[in-house]
Amino acid sequence: MPDQTSSAPRPTLEAVAERAGVSRATVSRVVNGGAGVRAPLVEAVQRAVDELGYVPNQAARALVTRRNDAVAVVIGEPETRLFTDPFFAQQLRGISKELTAHDSQLVLLLVEGTEDYERIGRFLAGSHVDGALVFSLHSDDPLPAIIRRLGLPTVYGGRPGWPGAEDDGNVLYVDSDNRGGAREAVRHLLSLGRRRIATITGPLDQTASADRLDGFRDVLSDADPRLITEGDFTPLGGERAMAELLDRCPDLDAVFAASDLMASGALRVLRERGRSVPDEVAVIGFDDIESVAALTTPALTTVRQDIEGMGRLMTRLLMRGLDQRHGNGTGPALPLSSVITPTHLVRRVSA
Amino acid sequence: MPDQTSSAPRPTLEAVAERAGVSRATVSRVVNGGAGVRAPLVEAVQRAVDELGYVPNQAARALVTRRNDAVAVVIGEPETRLFTDPFFAQQLRGISKELTAHDSQLVLLLVEGTEDYERIGRFLAGSHVDGALVFSLHSDDPLPAIIRRLGLPTVYGGRPGWPGAEDDGNVLYVDSDNRGGAREAVRHLLSLGRRRIATITGPLDQTASADRLDGFRDVLSDADPRLITEGDFTPLGGERAMAELLDRCPDLDAVFAASDLMASGALRVLRERGRSVPDEVAVIGFDDIESVAALTTPALTTVRQDIEGMGRLMTRLLMRGLDQRHGNGTGPALPLSSVITPTHLVRRVSA
């Protein structure tokens, strides 16, 4: 990713034109979707943009681009997870409601694998949408680099993982207090007298997973490494991780799973192995997804985050930025900044 | 909806320009997305287009529009059903795979309610996508009229319900043999010696539901009307319908439910009421959705349709039409026509 934070001067449109051997007008047209430009020239310009790390001037772009009243939503997960993990449906519900209130169309771009991002980049470059909401990023995800290059207004769901993203005022995101939530869960397990507390993490190339593990370690700084195992946010991943933990540490007396779906898998394995919950093993999840946490046997104690609310906040933040950019804002331009939403423990039966 | 099959001359671009009081060039620009045209003029043209039932000349449009390598998918259901009914995920999987093979981006447009269609129409009119795949239409759905007006290449999933759609060569759709599948299910119940056979239909404003009910009646032309009740394709709807049927006709000995999800709800109610399946009441579903039919208690006998394959076929049909239109087809242009895919009974335990 081009380094935008350095003090070196930002490459100009002229520099791109010179490098590509084309006119300024051609660069401008390519940057704004490429209509009417022959394919070899589009490629030459894109190569120069990549090489120089050029980012179009937002204000200049706003003059030549119309507003489309449409917003792209990109979820960095294959459609099989998108449609089986209620987390995404809940976040999309929040986004959909808020976009409808702004009379803007939700355009969901499905991703099957990394090889799809080039095509998604082309669509995002084509002046079809006013901005993007991007979530479930993994650390090797090529999308943020594409979005920066295009200068497309974007709000991320979950803190992006690249170095410096947290302090970069140009990167907007909405996240939960993942670390604080994990701390609260582990402290609750300690207060119940549990001493061999295990954790099933999410994929550690996602910041939400890493932050929850950090919260676990904040409280249990000397945790036995055999009590920490990586899952994948699915029920099956939770089953596998739980079986592994029980094999490694048969004396464990509590598990903090970094998602409700993984916790539901863990509960299933504990039941199969004859471990009673919460008497022998206390279990806490994360998310508080209604259709999961309240229906497990026993009902799941979990760290609640307001998933639908986060989707709504992401959308509001994006729409506010677009209004300011297009000069439709009412009142003075407010500074836009990222938001961390609170989490809290919801006690049911499992811990 | 304007009648395209009548022999009256089709309204011309000139007629639209005259009616709207604008130039031909303005009409042309509005029809192709409206870039650079002031809002009042756009509205005047759209009104004239509506009033005259104007359909843009496809060939002329192809000259002025670029290909976007993106296809819109519109599912006429609120996002809550979209994400809870595995039918849609399966159909989208087929579409997604096939579009990826054509390097075309799947653009899913979410619909919350009828009031969203105006906005969706605007997006579809904006030259953002090359065509549309539309499914789960209800009979009062405004989308087909919008699509016709735009002249957007479209393939429907399921036979559209307006009069004459079936014989209109300009309307392309992919459907299952719903009627034949229902007949096979009911004949199987008869062969098991069942004589009081009930049915839970889908929403009768959808052709798939009406066709399955027609198949039921083909075999049981003198069915007691109290044995027929309407569901809504959800598990809860199946529960309600089953309870109603048992209250009305306690002597029923079989149920044909027009979807697996409704059948799963029916099985739950039968269990609660102490009716053994299949001994006292035989149950047959429709769809053969893996994550449902094989996992019910007892496992569900059902009419299988190839849902993912239908998604794939819809996409192929659309891409073939687009290739021909843009002159990229290999070999001679083949006539495009709608496809009915076969269904067959999958026997498990419930009947």
Phi (first) and psi of residue B222, to 5 degrees = -105, 30
Chain A residue whose CA is closest to B90: A80
A205 with A131, same domain? no
Mean pLDDT of A205-214: 96
Residues A49 and A85 in one domain: no
Q: Which amino acid type is present at position B247?
A: D
- Same domain? For A151 and A74 the reply is yes
Answer yes or no: do B189 and B292 share one domain.
Answer: yes
Point out the residue among B68, B109, B126 whose CB comes nearest to the CB of A68: B126
CB nearest B116 (choices: A70, A100, A108) = A100
pLDDT of residue A81: 84
Residues B145 and B129 in one domain: yes
Q: Are A238 and A318 in a shared domain?
A: no
Residue A75 forms part of a structural domain: yes
Collect all residues from A whose CB is shorter than 8 A from any CB in B.
35, 66, 68-70, 79-80, 83-84, 86, 88-89, 92-93, 96-97, 100, 103-110, 112, 116, 119-120, 122-123, 126, 128
Task: Name every chain A residue with its beta carbon within 8 A of the beta carbon of B106.
Answer: 109-110
My answer on whether B325 and B265 are in the same domain is no
Same domain, A101 and A50: no
The CA–CA distances, whole Å, from A22 to A15, A25, A34, A149 equal 10, 8, 13, 19
Query: Contacts of residue A108 in chain B, CB cutoff 8 Å?
Result: 107-110
Q: Using the 8-state DSSP alphabet, how is residue A296 labeled? A: S
Please check whether residue A306 is in contact with residue A328, taking contact to mean a CB–CB distance below 8 angstroms. Answer: no
Same domain, A36 and A123: no
- Distance in angstroms (rounded) separating the CA atoms of residues A19 and A29: 16
Question: Cβ A116–B100 below 8 Å, yes or no?
Answer: yes
Q: From the centroid of its chain, how far is CA A214?
A: 18
- Per CB distance under 8 Å, which residues of B are interface residues toward A? 35, 66, 68-70, 79-80, 83-84, 86, 88-89, 92-93, 96-97, 100, 103-110, 112, 116, 119-120, 122-123, 126, 128
Mutate to test the interface with B, among A66, A107, A236 (most CBs of B within 10 A): A107
Strand ranges (DSSP E) for B202-257? 228-230, 254-257
State whether B117 and B73 are in the same domain.
Answer: yes
pLDDT greater than 60 at residue A330: no
Contacts of residue A84, defined as CB under 8 A and 6 or more positions apart, other chains included, come to A234, B89
Whole-number percent of chain A with pLDDT over 70: 89
Chain A positions in Cβ-Cβ contact with residue B110 (cut-off 8 Å): 92, 96, 106, 108
A349 occurs within a structural domain: no
Residues making up chain B, counted from first to last: 351
Contacts of A107 in chain B (CB under 8 A): 107-109, 123
Among B65, B67, B83, most A C-beta atoms within 10 A, so best to mutate, is B83
Under an 8 A CB cutoff, do B83 and A92 touch? yes
Q: What is the pLDDT of residue B189?
A: 98
HSE-up of B335 (CA within 13 Å, CB side)?
6
In a domain, B4, yes or no: no
What is the DSSP pairing of strand A70-75 with strand A339-341? unpaired
Model pLDDT for residues B287-343, shown as the tens digit of each residue: 999 888 988 889 999 999 999 999 999 999 999 989 887 766 555 566 788 999 999
Residues of B with Cβ-Cβ distance to A92 under 8 angstroms? 79, 83, 110
Q: Is residue B346 part of a domain?
A: no
Asked if residue B5 is part of any domain, the answer here is no
Domain that holds residue A330: 68-176+308-341
A7 inside domain: no
Q: Please give the Cα distance from A42 to A53 (Å, whole number).
A: 16
E-strand ranges in B208-288 read 228-230, 254-257, 282-287
pLDDT at B111: 83
Instruction: Report whether A266 contacts A238 (CB < 8 A).
Output: yes
pLDDT at A62: 37
**CB-based contact A86 B83, cutoff 8 Å:** yes
The answer as to whether B6 is a domain residue is no
d(CA B267, CA B350): 9
> Mind listing the pLDDT tens digit for each residue in A278-319?
999 999 999 999 888 988 889 999 999 999 999 999 999 999
Instruction: Give the pLDDT confidence score for residue A154 in this predicted structure.
Output: 96
E strands, A78-153, in order: 105-109, 131-135
Residue B348 lies inside a defined structural domain of this protein:
no
Q: How many domains does chain A have?
A: 3
The number of C-beta contacts closer than 8 angstroms across A and B is 88
d(CA B123, CA B118) in angstroms, rounded, equals 9
Selecting from B66, B79, B96 the residue whose C-beta is nearest the C-beta of A93 gives B79
- The distance of A97 to chain B (nearest Cα, Å) reads 8
Which residue, among A4, A3, A37, A2, has the nearest Cα to A23 in the 3D structure? A37
Same domain, A172 and A320: yes
Instruction: Pick the residue from chain A with its C-alpha nearest to B34.
Output: A66
pLDDT given for residue A59 in this prediction: 36
Domain with residue B138: its CATH number is: 3.40.50.2300
A15-69 confidence digits (pLDDT tens): 888 889 898 888 877 776 666 678 788 788 878 877 776 766 543 443 344 678 8
CB atoms within 10 A of CB A272: 12
CB contact under 8 A, A66 and B35: yes
Predicted complex ipTM: 0.71
Q: Are A281 and A254 in contact (CB under 8 A)?
A: yes
DSSP code, position B167: G
Low-confidence ranges of chain B (pLDDT < 50): 1-8, 58-65
Q: At what angle do helices A260-272 and A235-248 cross, to 10 degrees?
A: 50
pLDDT band for position A189 (50/70/90)?
very high
Q: A299 and A184, same structural domain?
A: yes
Determine whether the interchain pair B109/A107 forms a contact, defined as Cβ–Cβ distance below 8 Å.
Answer: yes
CATH of the domain at B24: 1.10.260.40
